Amino acid sequence: MRPMLILGPGAVARADGGAILAAARAVAEKYRMVRKGWNGFNILHHAASRVGGLDLGFVPGAAGQDVAGILENAESGAIRFVWLLGADEIDMAPLADAFTVYQGHHGDVGAAAADVVLPGAAYTEKNATYVNLEGRVQRAYRAVYPPGDAREDWTILRAFSQSVGRTLPYDTLDSLRARMVEIAPTFGAVDEIATATWDEFGAPGEISGEAFTGSMADFYLTDAVARASDTMAKCSSLFVTGSQEKTGTDG
């Protein structure tokens, strides 16, 4: 018997998310969902390679702000400069008075709200490293070169760091990847599943009686690439909004 538990991002992003995590951990331990040769405890993230970002420490520092804090302080004027690194899934209205830089591709809502747009390369246009849902580190290879002035994201950040006098010590992709391995050794084991350490997490407490609801309004338009696709727009129209014109063959 190999029991499994899958938590969606909507469940842990609630106000009682910490308590939900703690309860889920207790269930996993009671039914031995995590043991040698089997990991049945899973969190299904919305964002591609979210786990990879967490492995590398892409979280607010000791004096940093989370997304809600950044938006709140940008709206109040306490934060006057915001750099959006491919961020399109947030409310851009609070950034109206902040000087906003958008770095990314496909020109979504983040680009529309920005004062400066720095075009980044899409996933097909760069050599990149990703971590999949299994925790497996994978390499992607450039299929075509970025169009126009678009550049790979790390080179944009490297150039900016030099212009402000805080030069990052990465001149090549290999040196950048070597640093990633220093931070998270699992990045050196390409195409292997790294075994995570089962540890304490969550915050025991009361779970509200609020019903669990889906956190994804439209599966077909979940990211900038999908929203730029005519095919995905037609799927959304047909299966979500129901606005697709009937053909007479619908039954």
Q: What domains can be seen in the chain, in order of their start residue?
A: 48-188 (3.40.50.740), 220-251 (no CATH)
Q: What is the pTM of this model?
A: 0.81
Q: How far is CA 193 from the centre of its chain?
A: 20
Which among 109, 116, 132 is positioned nearest to 49, based on CA atoms? 132
Taking the C-alpha atoms of 137, 198, 43 and 68 in order, what is their torsion angle to the nearest 10 degrees?
-100
Which pLDDT tens digit goes with each residue over 111-157? Answer: 999 999 999 999 999 999 999 877 899 999 999 999 999 999 999 99
Which pLDDT tens digit goes with each residue over 201-246? Answer: 999 999 998 998 877 888 899 888 888 899 999 999 998 877 655 5
Which pLDDT tens digit goes with each residue over 105-116? Answer: 988 889 999 999
Amino acid at 12: V
**Residue 214: exposure state from Cβ atoms within 10 A (0-12, 13-18, ≥19):** exposed
Give the pair of three-digit tokens for residue 16. Answer: 């009682």
